[in-house]
Amino acid sequence: DSGVTQTPKHLITATGQRVTLRCSPRSGDLSVYWYQQSLDQGLQFLIQYYNGEERAKGNILERFSAQQFPDLHSELNLSSLELGDSALYFCASSRDRFYEQYFGPGTRLTVT
């Protein structure tokens, strides 16, 4: 158990809809990262927040947005969903060294 929690575990929704994925980092970790893993793809970095502020951005679509709240939990919002958005979405957190990240179990999103 990494100490990072993600909800929900599974999500099935239709094209055009909007969903919110939630992540709670390990106790004491200020950084939260979001990754997408599509079929046959590696982990694609989406975005990082540090203590409530956006720190780094990857290949995140404009339809996607994220935020980190004062209690340090984070939410990833995906809107106008397309079939190609079906993927595993992982959240990770880190403390002192950003490159040693602790991952949650992921949320599997299926868009039908």
Partner 1 sequence: DQQVKQNSPSLSVQEGRISILNCDYTNSMFDYFLWYKKYPAEGPTFLISISSIKDKNEDGRFTVFLNKSAKHLSLHIVPSQPGDSAVYFCAGADTGANSKLTFGKGITLSVRP
CB of 37 to partner 1, least distance (A): 9
Which CA distances in Å does 52 have to 25, 37, 48, 67, 91? 12, 24, 10, 7, 15
19, 24, 68, 90: which one contacts partner 1 (CB under 8 A)?
90
Task: Give the footprint of partner 1 on residues 34-63 (CB under 8 A).
Answer: 35, 40-45, 48, 50, 55-56, 58
Which of the stretches 12-20, 66-74, 75-83, 91-99 binds partner 1 when contact is defined by CB under 8 A?
91-99
Calpha distance 106→66 (Å, rounded): 16
Which CA distances in Å does 112 have to 15, 67, 71, 83? 6, 26, 33, 6
* Residues at the interface with partner 1 (CB under 8 A): 2, 4, 31, 33, 35, 40-45, 48, 50, 55-56, 58, 90, 92, 98-106
